[in-house]
A and B are shown apart, each in its own frame.
Chain A
Amino acid sequence: KQEVTQIPAALSVPEGENLVLNCSFTDSAIYNLQWFRQDPGKGLTSLLLIQSSQREQTSGRLNASLDKSSGRSTLYIAASQPGDSATYLCAVIISNTGKLIFGQGTTLQVKP
Protein backbone atom coordinates (compact mmCIF):
# COMPACT_ATOMS: atom_id res chain seq x y z
CA LYS A 1 0.00 0.00 0.00
CA GLN A 2 1.38 3.36 -1.05
CA GLU A 3 2.24 5.68 1.85
CA VAL A 4 3.37 9.29 1.46
CA THR A 5 5.32 10.99 4.22
CA GLN A 6 6.39 14.61 4.49
CA ILE A 7 9.16 15.92 6.69
CA PRO A 8 9.24 18.23 8.55
CA ALA A 9 5.64 18.62 9.72
CA ALA A 10 6.25 22.31 10.40
CA LEU A 11 8.92 24.78 9.51
CA SER A 12 9.53 28.40 10.49
CA VAL A 13 12.12 30.49 8.65
CA PRO A 14 13.03 34.16 8.33
CA GLU A 15 12.12 35.95 5.14
CA GLY A 16 14.64 35.56 2.33
CA GLU A 17 15.85 32.13 3.31
CA ASN A 18 16.02 29.28 0.80
CA LEU A 19 14.33 26.12 2.01
CA VAL A 20 13.65 22.52 1.12
CA LEU A 21 10.55 20.47 1.84
CA ASN A 22 10.78 16.71 1.68
CA CYS A 23 8.36 14.07 0.49
CA SER A 24 8.88 10.31 0.44
CA PHE A 25 6.71 7.51 -0.92
CA THR A 26 6.95 3.79 -0.33
CA ASP A 27 6.16 2.42 -3.81
CA SER A 28 8.20 3.72 -6.72
CA ALA A 29 5.57 2.67 -9.29
CA ILE A 30 3.96 6.07 -9.66
CA TYR A 31 2.51 7.87 -12.66
CA ASN A 32 3.40 11.32 -11.46
CA LEU A 33 3.87 13.49 -8.39
CA GLN A 34 2.11 16.75 -7.70
CA TRP A 35 2.90 19.48 -5.18
CA PHE A 36 0.08 21.63 -3.80
CA ARG A 37 -0.28 24.61 -1.57
CA GLN A 38 -3.15 24.87 0.93
CA ASP A 39 -3.97 28.06 2.77
CA PRO A 40 -5.93 27.71 6.06
CA GLY A 41 -9.54 26.74 5.43
CA LYS A 42 -9.04 26.91 1.67
CA GLY A 43 -8.75 24.59 -1.27
CA LEU A 44 -5.63 23.14 -2.84
CA THR A 45 -3.63 25.09 -5.40
CA SER A 46 -1.50 23.05 -7.77
CA LEU A 47 2.11 24.22 -7.79
CA LEU A 48 4.02 21.72 -9.87
CA LEU A 49 3.46 18.38 -11.58
CA ILE A 50 6.38 16.05 -12.23
CA GLN A 51 5.83 13.15 -14.58
CA SER A 52 7.41 9.85 -13.52
CA SER A 53 9.90 10.10 -16.40
CA GLN A 54 11.05 13.58 -15.35
CA ARG A 55 13.66 14.58 -12.82
CA GLU A 56 12.53 18.09 -12.00
CA GLN A 57 10.15 20.93 -12.74
CA THR A 58 10.52 24.64 -12.14
CA SER A 59 8.03 27.46 -11.76
CA GLY A 60 9.31 30.84 -10.67
CA ARG A 61 10.97 30.51 -7.26
CA LEU A 62 9.85 26.88 -6.95
CA ASN A 63 11.79 23.84 -8.06
CA ALA A 64 10.61 20.29 -7.50
CA SER A 65 12.77 17.24 -8.01
CA LEU A 66 11.85 13.60 -8.26
CA ASP A 67 13.97 10.53 -7.59
CA LYS A 68 11.56 7.72 -8.29
CA SER A 69 13.99 4.90 -7.53
CA SER A 70 14.59 6.14 -4.00
CA GLY A 71 10.97 7.22 -3.51
CA ARG A 72 11.75 10.86 -2.83
CA SER A 73 10.79 14.31 -3.97
CA THR A 74 11.87 17.72 -2.76
CA LEU A 75 10.32 21.13 -3.17
CA TYR A 76 12.86 23.92 -3.13
CA ILE A 77 11.62 27.45 -2.43
CA ALA A 78 14.08 30.22 -3.18
CA ALA A 79 14.13 33.56 -1.38
CA SER A 80 11.11 32.81 0.78
CA GLN A 81 8.50 35.51 1.40
CA PRO A 82 5.80 35.90 4.07
CA GLY A 83 3.24 35.21 1.35
CA ASP A 84 4.70 31.72 1.00
CA SER A 85 3.31 30.84 4.44
CA ALA A 86 0.93 27.91 3.92
CA THR A 87 0.76 24.14 4.11
CA TYR A 88 2.52 22.36 1.27
CA LEU A 89 1.17 18.96 0.23
CA CYS A 90 2.84 16.29 -1.80
CA ALA A 91 0.70 13.71 -3.62
CA VAL A 92 1.44 10.78 -5.93
CA ILE A 93 -0.75 9.22 -8.59
CA ILE A 94 -0.48 5.46 -8.57
CA SER A 95 -2.98 4.42 -11.24
CA ASN A 96 -4.42 5.57 -14.56
CA THR A 97 -7.65 6.51 -12.81
CA GLY A 98 -5.94 9.58 -11.38
CA LYS A 99 -6.23 8.63 -7.71
CA LEU A 100 -3.99 10.95 -5.69
CA ILE A 101 -2.39 9.72 -2.46
CA PHE A 102 -1.48 12.63 -0.21
CA GLY A 103 1.09 13.25 2.46
CA GLN A 104 0.26 14.97 5.69
CA GLY A 105 1.83 18.23 4.56
CA THR A 106 4.48 20.62 5.81
CA THR A 107 3.21 23.83 7.39
CA LEU A 108 5.55 26.66 6.52
CA GLN A 109 5.75 29.99 8.29
CA VAL A 110 7.93 32.70 6.80
CA LYS A 111 8.57 35.51 9.26
CA PRO A 112 9.08 39.07 8.01
Chain B
Amino acid sequence: EPEVTQTPSHQVTQMGQEVILRCVPISNHLYFYWYRQILGQKVEFLVSFYNNEISEKSEIFDDQFSVERPDGSNFTLKIRSTKLEDSAMYFCASSEWGQGAETQYFGPGTRLLVL
Protein backbone atom coordinates (compact mmCIF):
# COMPACT_ATOMS: atom_id res chain seq x y z
CA GLU B 1 0.00 0.00 0.00
CA PRO B 2 1.44 3.43 -0.91
CA GLU B 3 2.74 5.45 2.03
CA VAL B 4 3.98 8.92 2.77
CA THR B 5 7.64 8.79 3.77
CA GLN B 6 9.70 11.35 5.67
CA THR B 7 13.41 11.84 6.23
CA PRO B 8 15.19 12.10 8.54
CA SER B 9 13.27 10.38 11.32
CA HIS B 10 15.19 12.39 13.92
CA GLN B 11 17.19 15.59 13.65
CA VAL B 12 19.11 17.48 16.29
CA THR B 13 20.26 21.01 15.48
CA GLN B 14 21.65 24.07 17.16
CA MET B 15 19.49 27.15 17.61
CA GLY B 16 19.88 29.48 14.64
CA GLN B 17 20.74 26.73 12.18
CA GLU B 18 18.73 25.95 9.07
CA VAL B 19 16.99 22.62 8.73
CA ILE B 20 15.24 20.98 5.80
CA LEU B 21 12.69 18.29 6.43
CA ARG B 22 11.89 16.04 3.51
CA CYS B 23 8.76 14.22 2.52
CA VAL B 24 7.78 11.96 -0.35
CA PRO B 25 4.00 12.09 -0.73
CA ILE B 26 1.96 9.30 -2.26
CA SER B 27 2.72 9.37 -5.97
CA ASN B 28 -0.66 10.30 -7.46
CA HIS B 29 -1.53 12.82 -4.75
CA LEU B 30 -1.79 16.49 -5.62
CA TYR B 31 -2.30 18.19 -2.27
CA PHE B 32 0.37 18.39 0.38
CA TYR B 33 0.44 19.51 3.98
CA TRP B 34 2.75 20.05 6.92
CA TYR B 35 1.64 19.76 10.54
CA ARG B 36 3.57 19.77 13.76
CA GLN B 37 3.01 18.39 17.24
CA ILE B 38 4.86 19.83 20.20
CA LEU B 39 5.27 17.20 22.90
CA GLY B 40 2.06 16.79 24.87
CA GLN B 41 0.12 19.22 22.70
CA LYS B 42 -2.37 19.03 19.84
CA VAL B 43 -1.36 18.44 16.25
CA GLU B 44 -1.25 21.87 14.58
CA PHE B 45 -1.66 22.80 10.94
CA LEU B 46 1.25 24.66 9.36
CA VAL B 47 0.63 24.90 5.63
CA SER B 48 -1.22 23.39 2.67
CA PHE B 49 0.25 23.33 -0.84
CA TYR B 50 -1.20 22.69 -4.28
CA ASN B 51 -0.03 23.33 -7.80
CA ASN B 52 3.30 24.73 -6.57
CA GLU B 53 1.61 27.33 -4.43
CA ILE B 54 0.69 27.71 -0.80
CA SER B 55 -3.08 27.34 -0.41
CA GLU B 56 -3.24 28.31 3.23
CA LYS B 57 -0.78 28.87 6.05
CA SER B 58 -1.24 29.23 9.77
CA GLU B 59 -0.01 31.99 12.05
CA ILE B 60 2.83 29.68 13.06
CA PHE B 61 4.11 29.59 9.47
CA ASP B 62 6.03 32.87 9.56
CA ASP B 63 8.90 34.08 7.38
CA GLN B 64 11.25 31.53 8.95
CA PHE B 65 9.33 28.72 7.26
CA SER B 66 9.14 27.86 3.60
CA VAL B 67 7.94 24.92 1.54
CA GLU B 68 9.01 23.67 -1.83
CA ARG B 69 8.34 20.88 -4.27
CA PRO B 70 11.77 20.76 -5.89
CA ASP B 71 10.96 17.87 -8.18
CA GLY B 72 8.11 15.52 -9.02
CA SER B 73 8.38 13.48 -5.87
CA ASN B 74 9.75 15.48 -2.93
CA PHE B 75 8.05 18.07 -0.74
CA THR B 76 10.23 19.95 1.72
CA LEU B 77 9.79 22.17 4.76
CA LYS B 78 12.65 24.55 5.49
CA ILE B 79 13.15 26.36 8.76
CA ARG B 80 15.72 29.10 8.15
CA SER B 81 16.85 29.93 11.68
CA THR B 82 15.61 27.43 14.19
CA LYS B 83 14.41 28.43 17.65
CA LEU B 84 14.08 26.33 20.78
CA GLU B 85 10.31 26.43 20.41
CA ASP B 86 10.55 24.79 16.98
CA SER B 87 11.31 21.50 18.73
CA ALA B 88 8.44 19.23 17.76
CA MET B 89 7.37 16.28 15.65
CA TYR B 90 6.74 17.44 12.10
CA PHE B 91 4.29 15.49 9.98
CA CYS B 92 3.86 15.63 6.24
CA ALA B 93 0.52 14.59 4.73
CA SER B 94 -0.93 14.27 1.27
CA SER B 95 -4.31 13.76 -0.35
CA GLU B 96 -5.33 12.81 -3.86
CA TRP B 97 -7.87 15.57 -4.17
CA GLY B 98 -8.41 18.70 -2.15
CA GLN B 99 -11.41 20.88 -1.57
CA GLY B 100 -11.53 19.53 1.98
CA ALA B 101 -13.20 16.35 0.85
CA GLU B 102 -10.42 13.79 0.88
CA THR B 103 -8.68 11.62 3.41
CA GLN B 104 -5.25 12.95 4.33
CA TYR B 105 -2.50 10.36 4.68
CA PHE B 106 0.26 11.13 7.12
CA GLY B 107 3.90 10.21 7.16
CA PRO B 108 5.69 8.82 10.23
CA GLY B 109 7.08 12.22 11.19
CA THR B 110 10.45 13.86 11.79
CA ARG B 111 11.32 14.56 15.39
CA LEU B 112 13.22 17.86 15.50
CA LEU B 113 15.16 18.85 18.58
CA VAL B 114 16.63 22.35 18.72
CA LEU B 115 19.34 22.86 21.34
The interface of chain A, by Cβ under 8 A from chain B, is 31-32, 34, 36, 41-46, 49, 51, 89, 91, 93-105
In the complex, the answer to whether A98 meets B104 with C-beta atoms within 8 Å is: yes
In the complex, the answer to whether A44 meets B98 with C-beta atoms within 8 Å is: no
Q: List 16 A-B contacts (CB under 8 A).
A: A31-B99, A32-B100, A32-B101, A43-B108, A44-B91, A46-B103, A46-B105, A46-B106, A97-B55, A98-B56, A98-B98, A99-B45, A99-B48, A100-B43, A102-B42, A102-B44
Give the distance to chain B from A92, nearest Cβ to Cβ, in Å: 10
Across-interface contacts of A46 in B (CB, < 8 A): 103-106
In the complex, the answer to whether A102 meets B104 with C-beta atoms within 8 Å is: no
Chain B interface main SS type: strand
Q: How many A-B residue pairs have CB under 8 A?
A: 69
Question: Among residues 84 to 115 in chain B, which have CB atoms less than 8 Å away from a CB atom of chain A?
Answer: 91, 93, 95, 98-109, 111
Could you tell me how many residues of chain B have their Cβ less than 8 Å away from some Cβ of chain A?
27
Across-interface contacts of B48 in A (CB, < 8 A): 97-99
Give the distance to chain A from B114, nearest Cβ to Cβ, in Å: 18
Question: How far, in angstroms, from A41 to B55 measured CA to CA in the complex?
Answer: 29
In the complex, the answer to whether A31 meets B105 with C-beta atoms within 8 Å is: no
In the complex, the answer to whether A45 meets B100 with C-beta atoms within 8 Å is: no
In the complex, the answer to whether A99 meets B56 with C-beta atoms within 8 Å is: yes
Question: How far, in angstroms, from A101 to B108 measured CA to CA in the complex?
Answer: 19
**Residue B75 at the chain A interface, CB threshold 8 Å:** no
From B45, B98, B101, B111, contact of A100 by CB (8 A):
B45
Across-interface contacts of B56 in A (CB, < 8 A): 95, 97-99
Could you say which of A36, A100, A103 has the most chain B C-beta atoms within 10 Å of its C-beta? A100
From B45, B95, B102, B107, contact of A43 by CB (8 A):
B107
Answer whether A44 and B106 are a contact pair too, CB < 8 Å, given A98-B98, A100-B45. yes
Chain A's closest residue to B40 (CB) is A104
